[in-house]
Chains A and B, each alone.
Chain A
């Protein structure tokens, strides 16, 4: 980030903050597929495991990881399978149409929503505080444990949160709200300084 960008971003640099007290950056999502179906029906949940190598989580607001694939609980009959960009190509998120047809045959549905969301990483000691400024979720580890996910609002934008580590969050919003979410995030983070990637 150039000095000009940093000034324009309004993020002050705190010389006492130490290494990366707060990191805000966009993350590329390679693939995101939405799986829908009734998890209490064995043909559906078995076929999901057969196709993707993971059993989708049935406990609300939890995730299951299988290799480079992350399955996030979105609702009692809806999950998001995410494969981050740059991860190994051995991902099971390939051959969409064949998998969609296989899942259809077992009472499920599959949608390719790879282009629908953008993701941001919010990392550092102040990560939860920055999110809490614009989100009503309880980010205490008791209420939002590592590996958990939750959907809520960020400002007035619907957002999906995932917590890979205690002081690290991934936030996903609809692509058309990228600038809105990014500007809100940047303003919330301003008082903490830190590393801010250029706007996506």
Chain B
């Protein structure tokens, strides 16, 4: 069980949250080729180590935010509000 630090509410139990996927994926431009859209929709890395993710505090303040989590150890390395940068070293 993870203790996830919501940037608004502070540390809360994992069961209050919904996972929202890779936070580093960039939406392609409207005129981007089909391959770019396919990559945007379907293709994800499977990193072993720190991973920037989106999470929703679904049972709490209903806010989306960014979380940096180590996929090997489940260590939480930081969280940030949308629009703010995750601190520390980039993965």
Contact = CB atoms under 8 A, between A and B. Distances in A.
A78 B12 CA distance: 19
A125 B63 CA distance: 33
A76 interface: yes
Interface residues on B, range: 10 to 19
B65 to A, nearest CB: 10
Interface in B35-75: 59-63
Contact of A60 (B15, B16, B61, B62): B61
Interface in A68-104: 74-76, 78
Interface residues on A, range: 10 to 19
A61 B16 CA distance: 15
A76 B61 contact: yes
A99 B9 CA distance: 29
Given A151-B59, A151-B61, 18 more contacts: A60-B8, A60-B9, A60-B10, A61-B61, A74-B61, A74-B62, A75-B62, A75-B63, A136-B12, A136-B13, A136-B16, A137-B12, A143-B10, A150-B9, A152-B16, A152-B60, A153-B59, A158-B59
Interface of A: 60-61, 74-76, 78, 136-137, 143, 150-153, 158
17 contacts: A60-B8, A60-B61, A61-B9, A61-B61, A74-B61, A74-B62, A75-B8, A75-B62, A75-B63, A76-B8, A76-B63, A136-B12, A137-B13, A150-B9, A150-B60, A151-B60, A153-B16
A153 B16 CA distance: 7
Contacts of A158: 59
Contacts of B8: 60, 75-76
Specify which of A76, A150, A151 lies most central, judged by the most chain B CB atoms within 10 Å of its CB: A151
Nearest to A59: B8
Which 4 A/B pairs are nearest by Cβ-Cβ distance?
Answer: A136-B13, A75-B61, A60-B8, A151-B60
Nearest to B58: A158
B62 A78 contact: yes
A143 B63 CA distance: 20
A76 to B, nearest CB: 6
Contacts of B59: 151-153, 158
A151 B8 CA distance: 12
A137 B63 CA distance: 17
